[in-house]
Amino acid sequence: MVPVANRPLLEYVVEAVAAAGIDRVILVVGYRQERIRNHFGDGDDWDITIEYVQQATQLGTGHAVLQAEPVIDDSFIVLNGDRIVEHSVIATVQNRMHDGETPVMAVTPTERPREYGVVTLDDNRVIDIDEKPAGPVMTNRINAGVYGFSPAIFDDIRETDVTGELTITATLNELADIADGVAAVNYDGRWLDVSNLWDVLSVNAALIHDRTNREGSAADGDENSSSSSVAVADDVALADNVRLGPNVTVGGSTAIGENATIAANAVIENTVVFPDAVIGAGAVVRDAVVASNARVGPNVTIAGGPATVVVDDAVHRNVEFGGVVGDNATVGGGATLTDGAVVGDNVRAAAGVVIDERVESDAVVRRG
């Protein structure tokens, strides 16, 4: 579970659902579901009931919805677990569902429509959803990932004619062509998405900013700092039991998770550090994501700043992104990460290496 401002992203989604007055939530879980179950339990902390259904193999969003069919017998709302929305849009979709059986989807404007499903509307009716269109687009309205369905959707998903992944949007595109179609509701509120790794940084910054505005300094944990020479910016979220060594500097828009260690003289800025991670003495870590239990060695440099990142042949220019260190990965002393390097889970990188691209999980990186 990816933490932003030291709480799992999914928790913000669950909170919005609870705030919209919905008291039963079904989480479709797959990868590392135990962590999710541990965190959310039966939902008592949110005064809702949480149930779990398992999606054994990830065959698309439509397939995920199908897994919930045995426990659903009435209209329901579907949300993506990695997109933060306000509770108002959930309530709006829910209200619209009272009008009938027609599927409902929320659409929202964005600055980067081509990275999402661009929705063409006729009044409030969906005409077409074009996933990540290659050419110019006529609208900046995209699929917000909040849907209202009746149980009829399960048959519709099964009958969808697709090759490859069974996505909800494929089903909705088919339904858009027939009589009742798909209804759209407009949403202009906050919409935060982490489909790209570096989005974690901006979402984290936005949520810390919220909290700082609300409560003053966001640094509320019982950090275990033995030194008065530590400098921590106001817009930093420190979890409980974080250890900050002497002369550590923690710059703005940074979140540091429970039981993480930042050793002496390290400089951390605009970074998300997950629980149990260790950042060594003298390291400079900027615009980065350091995942659970990762070990960043002494004097490692993740310089940050604008980078050109290539993901699956798509080139993303000018993103503020220093790099990622995956779960349990070890980066040796004095190593350098540049250009949005992604070090996979469990990678062991030797001292002094320079990493400027993606390193697959479980790999070993040596100096050549």
Q: Which of 32, 112, 366, 367 binds other proteins (CB under 8 A)?
A: 32
| Helix/strand/coil for 271 | coil
Cα 246 to Cα 232, 260, 295, distances in angstroms:
12, 15, 18
Q: Which of 195, 226, 308, 361 binds other proteins (CB under 8 A)?
A: 226
Q: Does 42 sit near other proteins (CB under 8 A)?
A: yes
Q: Does 44 sit near other proteins (CB under 8 A)?
A: yes
Q: What are phi and psi of 44, to 5 degrees?
A: -60, -35
Taking the C-alpha atoms of residue 83 and residue 55, their distance in angstroms, rounded to an integer, is 19
Residues 289-308 that bind other proteins (CB under 8 A): 292-293
Handedness of CA 92, 98, 99, 104 (dihedral sign): positive
Taking the C-alpha atoms of residue 29 and residue 314, their distance in angstroms, rounded to an integer, is 28
**For residues 29 and 268, which CB has a smaller minimum distance to other proteins in the complex?**
29
Residues near other proteins (CB under 8 A), total: 34
Closest CB 68 distance from other proteins, rounded Å: 14
Q: In this chain, which stretch among 48-56, 132-140, 147-155, 184-192 interacts with other proteins, using CB under 8 A?
A: 48-56
Cα 17 to Cα 20, 91, 108, 177, distances in angstroms:
5, 9, 18, 30
Q: In this chain, which stretch among 42-50, 67-75, 200-208, 331-339 interacts with other proteins, using CB under 8 A?
A: 42-50
- Element (H or E) spanning 272, and its range? strand 272-273
Token look-up 């003289």 returns: 265
Contacts of 319 (CB under 8 A, 6+ apart): 196, 198, 306, 307, 308, 309, 340
Q: Does 41 sit near other proteins (CB under 8 A)?
A: yes
Q: Does 120 sit near other proteins (CB under 8 A)?
A: no
Cross-strand partners of 288: 323
Q: Does 245 sit near other proteins (CB under 8 A)?
A: yes
Q: Does 10 sit near other proteins (CB under 8 A)?
A: no
**For residues 143 and 292, which CB has a smaller minimum distance to other proteins in the complex?**
292
Taking the C-alpha atoms of residue 352 and residue 333, their distance in angstroms, rounded to an integer, is 6
Site map 181..220 versus other proteins, x via CB under 8 A:
----------------------------------------
Q: Does 241 sit near other proteins (CB under 8 A)?
A: yes
- Footprint of other proteins (CB under 8 A): 32, 34-35, 37-38, 40-42, 44-45, 50-52, 222, 224, 226-227, 240-241, 243, 245-246, 258-259, 261, 275-278, 292-293, 327-328, 348
